[in-house]
Amino acid sequence: MNIPEIFAENVFNHEVMKSRLPKNIYKALLKTINNGAAMDMTTADIVANTIKDWAVEKGATHYTHWFQPLTGSTAEKHDSFISTTPSGNAIMEFSGKELVKGEPDASSFPSGGLRQTSTARGYTAWDPTSYCFVKEGSLYIPTVFVSYTGEILDKKTPLLRSMDALSRSAVRFLRLFGNDRVTRVTSTVGAEQEYFLIDKKMYDQREDLILTDRTLFGANPPKGQELDDQYFANLKPRIAEYMADLDVELWKLGIYSKTKHNEVAPAQHEMAPIFTTSNLGTDQNELAMEVMKKVALRHGLVCLLHEKPFKGVNGSGKHNNWSMSTDDGQNLLDPGDTPMENLQFLTILCALIKGVDEYADLMRISAASAGNDHRLGADEAPPAIISMFLGEELDAVLKAIEEDGVYKTQTSTFEIGINALPSFPKDSTDRNRTSPFAFTGNRFEFRMVGSSDNIACPNALLNTIVAEELSWFADSLESFKGSDNFESEVKKLLKDVLKKHRRIIFNGDGYSPEWIQEAERRGLPNYASTVDCLPHYTDEKNVRIFRKFNIYTPNELKARTEVLLETYSKTIRIEARTMVEMARRKLLPAALDYISCVCRSISVKKQIGMTCNSEEKIAAKLNALADSFYDSIERLESQLESACKINDIRKQAEYFHDYVLAEMDIMRSVADEIEMNMPCDKWPIPTYTAMIYNI
Ligand code: ADP
Ligand code: MG
């Protein structure tokens, strides 16, 4: 296979733009892409027509504005290119207006009360900074989605706004350090995507997987991941074929799928792409998740993206690798080799330390969902407490700054008089898999994000936080720019910042119970669940930075919080209903059937004078379990009813968390015990062993 040849063959990327568009039009488009310059209609018409011709050659008959509403998935509505001619024939047409703006009747998308059904109009607007692509006979046009009155209704707009905010602050910041060339700083992301693959035939037998993407029942298999024999293990043939097929499909769509391997849990795998801009990275991750699911079906498999599809088995995350690049190709989180670059790097590092400490709640919120709640804090996942891992060497450098001390490497000793700052090796320390936000040499890896999450939100929040801190440093240091004491003033400031915010740095084991106590002592927030953290979205300090950088208005922020809380409640409601349905109509009848079968055997055996010790014990045990199972079903149903009667969105979510979810746990443990006491062939749904080992 010739990878460079197939790579991005279905993408209208820069190369295609350049080769297909007239020179002046290409230049105008570049201006729009790079500087956000408005595009006149004549230019838009030519661009649209060119894209259409290209798409039709690729087999497209339709186009769709593709957007990312607050539902958590992508949305599309397809229109054909068809137009009528006076003679009654059809021609393929596509105008600039159709490219630039769409008007989906959007009343069915969540808006958190920002849009009533009576004013249902929503607009999609072309986002030229991402690429159009062709898939399944349609031209996909990445767009943002806003309401008639201009409120944002999607996940992409805040991301794009945050990228602008970050760029402005970062450019201003870089000027302090004598960098006059850079005009744009772009946030970058490489999202490592974890997923599970199971056989479609088993999936089809489980309503919980079909309706909720996770198993609501299921006893643990005798063998879990304790032998650590899954991570990086060689690939089973069926999995290898899937991954090969997936790579090709992703490459065609211009997604730089680079790394693939087995993950820690049985049946768990990972795909990591090469990083790109946050904007493109977000679109590509959404697309990758869709393609992963579709390709799986071709192989008789189902790809599960839920954060915790199997209880007691590692969950899936999406390691969000984040950094910033300048338009002259510098990675701002690269420590660099010279003292001045070092100073700039250390200041950026301190800006991140300050930001993550001050806005730890936002970081936590950016990864909050009902699904991810099962993961954070359990097994291999990072804990729900936000902290930063820097590694020993960087930590030592920062300590030296703080204490006016000396920094020692193995070979030499440096006075920390900034000028003499050492160039330190990038990979100077071990990795820390337990940290939610870890420095990995030239980027930060945010590991809290859930596997099914859209990464727009975490990246938008991260960008906004960093925009705020870089502009704070610029405010504090601008008056010293170019002066002799600039370096000493920077050093003084870093020292202050570190004194105040060092508490967020933690290089130890984030899974240990001691860390929870230590974090509490340090005053770090520990929001165990989505309902604990979401209300802080609208805390005054958060409202302030979102407003300052024009990311969300207070109204938009309130609406978003409500949508997230509602989604939380709805998710648990669906899960609870699914449990009740499976329990009443499948699991309990199976248990009762078996009990009566055992009882029949007892009565037959007794008639001919045989002993029935084991049968009697089994029947009694299962009968008691079935009784408590029945009671639990009744309780869960009545709690569901009470929950649905609560009008206040926050109180309702809390009720779902405190009562419904708690009862679901009880019910599950009873069911799992019943399963362990039933013959395999009498249990009506596939077992964990069958699902995760039988691929
Ligand atoms: P690891 O297992 O070490 O975390 P992977 O190769 O699985 O490594 O993933 C690392 C991810 O980080 C890749 O997606 C990679 O492209 C991404 N990455 C590397 N450099 C940057 C950067 N400057 N900005 C954002 N992401 C980056
Ligand atoms: Mg990683």
pLDDT tens-digit profile of 406-437? 666 545 444 444 444 555 555 545 567 789 99
Tell me what pLDDT residue 419 has.
Answer: 46
d(CA 289, CA 305): 8
Tell me what pLDDT residue 598 has.
Answer: 97
DSSP 3-state assignment of 93?
Answer: coil
CATH 1.20.120.1560 fits 567-692, yes or no: yes
d(CA 153, CA 144): 8
Judge whether residue 197 has pLDDT over 70. yes
Q: Which two tokens stand for residue 243?
A: 């991954």
| CA quadruple 304, 310, 313, 318: dihedral, nearest 10 | 30
Q: For residues 521 and 338, which has the higher predicted lDDT (pLDDT)? A: 521
Tell me what pLDDT residue 217 has.
Answer: 98
Judge whether residue 448 has pLDDT over 90. yes
Q: What are the angstrom distances between the C-alpha of 286 and each of 66, 449, 456?
A: 11, 14, 10
The predicted model gives 550-578 an average pLDDT of 96
CATH 3.30.590.10 fits 162-413+422-552, yes or no: yes
The predicted model gives 548-577 an average pLDDT of 96
Tell me what pLDDT residue 109 has.
Answer: 78
Pick from 443, 446, 449, 463 the residue to mutate for probing ligand 1's pocket: most ligand atoms within 8 Å of its CB.
Answer: 443
Would the CB of 272 count as within 6 Å of ligand 1? yes
CA atoms within 13 A on the CB side of 366: 30
* Shortest-distance ligand to the CA of residue 275: 1
Tell me what pLDDT residue 34 has.
Answer: 86
Would the CB of 321 count as within 6 Å of ligand 1? yes
Fold of 3-154: Ubiquitin-like (UB roll) (3.10.20)
User: What predicted TM-score, i.e. pTM, was given to this entire model?
Assistant: 0.94
Would the CB of 126 count as within 6 Å of ligand 1? no
Would the CB of 141 count as within 6 Å of ligand 1? no
Answer yes or no: are the C-beta atoms of 232 and 329 closer than 8 Å: no
Tell me what pLDDT residue 148 has.
Answer: 79
- For ligand 1, what atom is nearest to the CA of residue 275? 16
Mean pLDDT, the chain, rounded, equals 91
The predicted model gives 311-319 an average pLDDT of 92
Q: How would residue 83 be classed by pLDDT, with cut points 50, 70 and 90?
A: very high
pLDDT in tens, 453-485: 999 999 999 999 999 999 999 999 999 998 999
d(CA 642, CA 658): 12
| Least confidently predicted of 177-186, 206-215, 456-465 | 177-186
Of residues 290, 246, 254, 248, the one with CA closest to residue 270: 246
Q: What percent of the chain has pLDDT over 90?
A: 78
The predicted model gives 70-90 an average pLDDT of 92
Q: For residues 381 and 262, which has the higher predicted lDDT (pLDDT)? A: 262
**CA 319 to the chain's CA centroid:** 8
d(CA 423, CA 399): 16
Would the CB of 331 count as within 6 Å of ligand 1? yes
Judge whether residue 379 has pLDDT over 80. no
Q: For residues 257 and 105, which has the higher predicted lDDT (pLDDT)? A: 257
Pick from 275, 431, 433, 440 the residue to mutate for probing ligand 1's pocket: most ligand atoms within 8 Å of its CB.
Answer: 275
Q: How would residue 112 be classed by pLDDT, with cut points 50, 70 and 90?
A: confident
| Least confidently predicted of 42-56, 366-380, 500-514 | 366-380
Phi–psi pair at 323, nearest 5 degrees: -155, -175
pLDDT in tens, 638-686: 999 999 999 999 999 999 999 999 999 999 999 999 999 999 999 999 9
Tell me what pLDDT residue 412 has.
Answer: 46
Q: For residues 235 and 250, which has the higher predicted lDDT (pLDDT)? A: 250
Burial 458-496 (b: 16+ CB within 10 A, else e): bbbbbbbbbbbbbbbbbebbeebeeeeebbebbbebbbe
Pick from 321, 345, 380 the residue to mutate for probing ligand 1's pocket: most ligand atoms within 8 Å of its CB.
Answer: 321
* Shortest-distance ligand to the CA of residue 318: 2
Would the CB of 350 count as within 6 Å of ligand 1? no
Report which protein residue has its CA nearest ligand 1's atom 1.
Answer: 192
In the chain, what are the domain boundaries? 3-154, 162-413+422-552, 567-692
What is the radius of gyration, based on Cα positions, of the chain? 28
Would the CB of 122 count as within 6 Å of ligand 1? no
Q: Which two tokens stand for residue 413?
A: 């000793």
- For ligand 1, what atom is nearest to the CA of residue 331? 23
Would the CB of 274 count as within 6 Å of ligand 1? yes
Tell me what pLDDT residue 416 has.
Answer: 47
